[in-house]
Amino acid sequence: MNKKYSIKDIAKLSGVSVATVSRVINDNGRFSEETRKKVQKVIRDTDYHTNFSAKNLRMNKSFSVGILVPDISNYFFANVVQKIEKILFKQGYSTIICNTARDEKKELAYLKMLESKGIDGLIVISGAKAFDISKLKTPQKIPFVCIDREPKDKQNTVFISSDHYQGAVEATNSLFEAGCKFPIIASHSRTSSSSSYRLRGFKDALAKNNITYNKSKNHIVLDSDNITKKLNQFLELEPQIDGIFAINDSIAINVLSALLKIGKSVPKDIKIIGFDNDPQDIHSYPTLSSIKQDTDKIAQVTVDNLINLINHTGITGESITIPVSLIQRESSK
């Protein structure tokens, strides 16, 4: 009689998956009325519900969630963080935002601070290295979800990201379809899991069009300094270049300005497409084509998964990929 039932027991007794039990408990997602009744009966019969309520009470919930973000001035990050905050607030949770400035020491300091403040859960957004929660005093106590950043141990978490690979394939293909013969990729020197997927998508799209990626001919690395000069030198060495896939819109906008300064006409001489669908894309001249990430969906899926983990009704180990879409504007016509 005193057996402690787990969510796996409930799933087995109900004859459905753990994910379905989780959806029924949180009244979230699709399941039939029949499934709902069946699962709820098992939960009542086993007293599972009181179990996890008691667990929550024991845990002394603070109804606050921490977010580690590498750079709040980046459009994609700010946008996702704001949407997550809005959804969490509606569900009764406060969001504590920490800007880590891509600094590992700072990240660890903020992790410890968040632990000391008694957060119920953690969201980790993109960063250069794999995320490692094991340096905390009680890492197993804080459920966490990773966006765009592969964690060191995927078994403890849920990993959510846009389909960066597919976005890069579509961006590159759109350049070929618009008539480009020699497209290149423009990226930062900094790498991350999302940027490596974008690079892989670009390489595979080249291969499909019978071009073998060659780092010195098909890839320009541009950080914030001397963009116009570097681009000009590259184009003098490789005058056949007629298309640029920029790994994000911030690079794309910089490349666009640099091309105009060099005296190139966009899209006539060189076509260009970015990634992220930054609001400034419609104000550039010409307007900038881009790959749109579905930030509404990323935010919703992130919150759903974190709340499930906090309530002990979620499962870890999953990787969830969110589709992206191509937004064609003047710069790649």
By the criterion CB under 8 A, which residues form the site for a copy of itself? Answer: 62, 64, 71-73, 75, 78-79, 81-82, 85-86, 89, 94-99, 101, 106, 109-110, 113, 116-117, 253-254, 256-257, 260, 280, 282-285
Instruction: Return the amino acid letter for 171.
Output: A
CB of 120 to a copy of itself, least distance (A): 12
Give 207 or 282: the residue with its C-beta nearer to a copy of itself. Answer: 282
Instruction: Tell me how far apart the alpha carbons of residues 140 and 122 are, in angstroms, rounded to a whole number.
Output: 12
Phi and psi at residue 76, in whole multiples of 5°? -60, -45
Instruction: Tell me how far apart the alpha carbons of residues 308 and 295 are, in angstroms, rounded to a whole number.
Output: 20
Number of residues that make up the chain: 333
CB of 278 to a copy of itself, least distance (A): 9
Give 31 or 75: the residue with its C-beta nearer to a copy of itself. Answer: 75
Give 260 or 326: the residue with its C-beta nearer to a copy of itself. Answer: 260
CB 291 within 8 A of CB 327: yes
DSSP strands (E only) in the chain: 64-69, 94-99, 121-125, 144-147, 157-162, 183-187, 219-221, 243-246, 271-273, 290-293, 319-322, 324-327
CB of 280 to a copy of itself, least distance (A): 5
Give 196 or 287: the residue with its C-beta nearer to a copy of itself. Answer: 287
| Structure-token match 């960063």, residue found | 127
Give 112 or 141: the residue with its C-beta nearer to a copy of itself. Answer: 112
Give 17 or 116: the residue with its C-beta nearer to a copy of itself. Answer: 116
CB of 129 to a copy of itself, least distance (A): 19
Give 81 or 247: the residue with its C-beta nearer to a copy of itself. Answer: 81
Instruction: Tell me how far apart the alpha carbons of residues 92 and 303 are, in angstroms, rounded to a whole number.
Output: 12
Phi and psi at residue 40, in whole multiples of 5°? -65, -35
Phi and psi at residue 138, in whole multiples of 5°? -130, 65
CB of 97 to a copy of itself, least distance (A): 4
CB of 263 to a copy of itself, least distance (A): 15
CB of 78 to a copy of itself, least distance (A): 4
CB 184 within 8 A of CB 243: yes
